[in-house]
Structure formats: structure tokens, C-alpha cells
């Protein structure tokens, strides 16, 4: 699976938690998940679990500390596929 | 209002490593954090007679708060403490900005905290509420606080969690609000469970959780502080959350167990007040 495909799936998974639809419309690898998309930080865990389920991977707590942008999430997931 | 005490005496389930491994790992990976923690601990301890004394005086005589059946609450806390020398994390419902002070005051007298300084819980206040001015930052440094920016950069949040893991493993105590912020509904909500608390509990082998449900009798919903003159009811329950799943899912599972315990305590509180 290439990164563009991972990116598409990541954005699709993120969509239900996004509070800023306008930011979602122009999402890029640099888009910050919490600050730009306004995903509730307490719900980030649900997003990560959705990543685990969708991509059939396991993500450690410490890995999540490195995820600030959509690109960080894509790179983390791509590295585990 | 009495204190409902439930103690889940689950035996330690044979962790492969003890809390010492968490301490050693922190000492190896982040010696600056370890030194910084030792420095703040020492300053807080030395300044304890001033800030602990002042906090108690303000709560008692300025705000005129009262903890219902305080002797029983403190005796229960001391019994729970005596049951095990293992790591203990305090987790409470969150309604006002002075909850941490009220909880500490409920669990022990000023004199108790001066003679048991490492049991006095560290706190993780929201930086935007408590760390705005230099004076505020000095105060929270002295008063055993590790400010956190909720929703901030994940690495910064991770650093705070690492420090709390370290100090809890050392046998010190921290007070964490599993709902992350003050409950906007005035009730404990399972959906509000932040996973950071589960991450701490999951990382420190044998970590028990002292669940504290506290509420002023005139506290209808969340606010900055309880009404002056209010009486605060406090109940305690000690649990040892366990989970068979792994990774982030495990942290969420552990956090949810704590929040569900707080929800049960809230139900008991509401039933008793009917």
C-alpha cells in the first residue's frame, strides 16, 4: 500500500472526529490533527484504535506521542505495514 | 453522608518487572527530568510549612469549607496506604479548580502532609489556567504541580506522563483527573475518559488506584470553586485495574475501569442524597 492510499484511509478514519470541516477540505500531510482539524485530544485514543483496526496493526502508547500531523500518522502506519 | 469504601484486594498478578524498572528506565533515558524532579521535590518539601499551611488556612477560614466526616475519610486513607507499600495513583472526579486542594485536605491534615511529604499528591494543572504569569508558575512549582497543556503537542503531554509514571513508581503520589478537564455536565462521564491515566497505570507494575469521589453539597455542576461555606462529601475506593489487551487499547481499557468506578461512586452518592 503506498502512502497516498494510506493518507486517503487516514483522512477517512479521522473525518467523524473532525470539528473543522473547512480544514478537512484542504487537508495535507502538514495538517495538525488537534490544532487544525480540532480533534478532541481525549478522543485521539479512539482515532488511534480505529487506525489499528482498519490497518490491522498495533500502535504503542509511545508511538502516539510522535503523532501531531496527518503526515506523522501516515508515516507511523506506513512503517508498520 | 458516610464514606463508602470498596477495596479490591486483587493480588499483584506477577508482573515481569517491578516499579524499579520504571525508575531505572527513566534514569537512563531522561536524566534531566530526574534531576528536575528531585529539585522541585526538595523545594516543595522545604517550602511545605508555608504553602501547605497557607492552603489549609485559606480553605478553612477564607472559604470556610468543611470535609464531611473528615476523621473517617483520613482513617480510611491511612488504612488503604497501610495495606501496601506499592505505587498508588489518586484519581478523582473533577468539578472545580480547587479539587486537588480539597482532596489533599480530605486525605490528611496539614501536619500529616508535612510529616509524610511524599504522600502529598503531585498535580497536573492545565497550564493555561495556572501557568500564565511568572508568579503563578512559581506558586505551582512550589506546590508540587507539573503543568500540562491539554490538547498540546503530543510529545509534551508524553513528557508529563513519563514524569508521573516515574514519581509514582518511586512511591510518590500523583492526583490525576481521568476526565482530563472539569466535567461540563457536572457528572462523571465514561465517554470523557482520557487514556493518559490508563497509560500511567499500565506502565507501573502493581499500581493501585485510589478513586476519590468528592462533591460540595451545594455543587450542582462544574465551576471555579465550591460555594464558600460548603460542606464537601468525600468517598474513597481502592482498585487495581487490570487488562488483557495491549497497546493503546489497554490504556483506554484501564482508564475506563477507573472512570466506571467513579461513576459507581457517584451513583452511590446520589442514591444516598435522595
- Listed by start position, the domains of chain B span 6-273
Average pLDDT over residues A5-33: 94
Domain coordinates in residue numbering, chain A: 3-80
Instruction: Chunk chain B into consecutive blocks of 10 residues (it has 274) and report each block's average pLDDT, rounded to whole numbers.
Output: 44 62 94 97 96 95 96 97 94 94 96 96 88 88 92 84 96 92 87 87 96 94 92 97 92 94 96 88
Whole-angstrom Cα distance, residue B51 to residue B168?
A: 22
**Chain A residues whose beta carbon lies within 8 Å of the beta carbon of residue B202:** 61
Please name the member of A35, A49, A68 whose beta carbon is closest to the beta carbon of B249: A49
Domain B6-273 in this protein, CATH class: alpha beta
State the pLDDT at residue B199: 93
Residue B10's pLDDT is what? 43
Instruction: Look at residue A74 in the predicted model and tell me its pLDDT.
Output: 97
Q: In this structure, how many other beta carbons lie within 10 angstroms of the beta carbon of residue B32? A: 7
> Measured between alpha carbons, how far is B48 from B163 in angstroms, rounded to an integer?
21
Which value does ipTM take for this structure? Answer: 0.85
B30 in contact with A, Cβ within 8 Å: no
* Calpha distance B64→B227 (Å, rounded): 9
CATH topology of domain A3-80: 1.10.1200
> Rounded to an integer, what distance in angstroms lies between the CA atom of residue B202 and that of residue B205?
7
Inter-chain contact A45–B252, Cβ cutoff 8 Å?
A: yes
pLDDT of residue B195: 85
pLDDT for B4 equals 47
Q: Is B155 on the interface with A (CB under 8 A)?
A: yes
The CB density around residue B43, as the number of other CB atoms within 10 Å, is 14
The pLDDT of residue A42: 81
The neighbouring-strand residues paired with B92 are B212
> How much is the pLDDT for B240?
96
Closest CB from B154, B195, B199 relative to A66: B154
Nearest to A57 by CA among A23, A6, A21, A4: A6
The whole-model pTM stands at: 0.88
Amino acid at each position: 500500500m503506498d502512502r497516498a492510499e494510506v493518507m486517503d484511509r487516514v483522512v477517512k478514519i479521522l473525518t467523524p472526529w473532525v470539528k473543522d470541516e473547512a480544514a478537512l477540505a484542504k487537508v495535507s500531510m502538514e495538517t495538525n490533527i488537534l490544532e487544525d482539524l480540532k480533534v478532541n485530544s481525549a478522543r485521539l485514543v479512539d482515532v488511534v484504535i480505529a487506525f489499528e483496526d482498519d490497518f490491522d496493526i498495533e500502535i504503542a502508547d509511545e508511538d502516539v506521542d510522535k503523532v501531531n500531523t496527518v503526515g506523522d500518522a501516515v508515516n507511523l502506519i506506513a512503517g508498520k505495514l | 453522608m458516610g464514606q463508602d469504601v470498596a477495596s479490591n484486594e486483587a493480588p499483584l498478578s506477577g508482573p515481569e518487572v517491578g516499579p524499579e524498572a520504571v525508575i531505572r528506565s527513566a534514569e537512563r533515558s531522561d536524566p534531566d527530568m530526574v534531576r528536575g524532579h528531585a529539585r522541585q521535590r526538595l523545594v516543595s518539601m522545604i517550602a511545605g510549612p508555608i504553602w501547605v499551611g497557607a492552603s489549609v488556612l485559606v480553605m478553612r477560614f477564607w472559604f470556610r469549607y468543611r470535609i464531611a466526616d473528615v476523621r473517617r475519610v483520613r482513617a480510611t486513607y491511612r488504612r488503604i496506604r497501610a495495606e501496601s507499600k506499592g505505587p498508588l495513583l489518586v484519581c478523582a472526579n473533577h468539578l472545580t479548580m480547587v479539587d486537588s486542594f480539597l482532596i489533599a485536605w480530605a486525605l490528611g491534615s496539614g501536619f500529616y502532609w508535612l510529616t509524610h511529604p511524599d504522600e502529598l499528591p503531585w498535580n497536573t494543572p492545565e497550564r493555561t489556567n495556572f501557568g500564565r504569569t511568572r508568579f503563578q508558575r512559581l506558586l505551582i512549582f512550589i506546590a508540587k504541580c507539573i503543568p500540562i497543556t491539554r490538547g498540546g503537542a503530543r510529545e509534551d503531554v508524553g513528557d508529563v506522563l513519563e514524569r508521573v509514571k516515574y514519581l509514582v513508581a518511586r512511591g510518590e503520589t500523583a492526583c490525576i483527573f481521568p476526565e482530563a478537564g472539569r466535567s461540563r455536565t457536572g457528572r462523571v462521564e465514561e465517554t470523557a475518559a482520557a487514556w493518559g491515566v490508563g497509560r500511567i497505570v499500565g506502565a507501573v507494575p502493581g499500581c493501585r488506584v485510589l478513586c476519590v469521589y468528592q462533591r460540595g453539597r451545594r455543587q450542582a455542576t462544574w465551576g471555579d470553586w465550591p460555594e464558600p461555606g460548603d460542606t464537601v462529601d468525600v468517598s474513597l475506593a481502592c482498585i487495581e485495574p487490570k487488562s488483557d489487551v495491549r497497546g493503546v487499547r489497554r490504556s483506554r481499557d484501564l482508564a475506563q475501569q477507573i472512570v466506571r468506578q467513579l461513576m459507581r461512586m457517584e451513583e452511590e452518592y446520589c442514591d444516598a442524597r435522595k
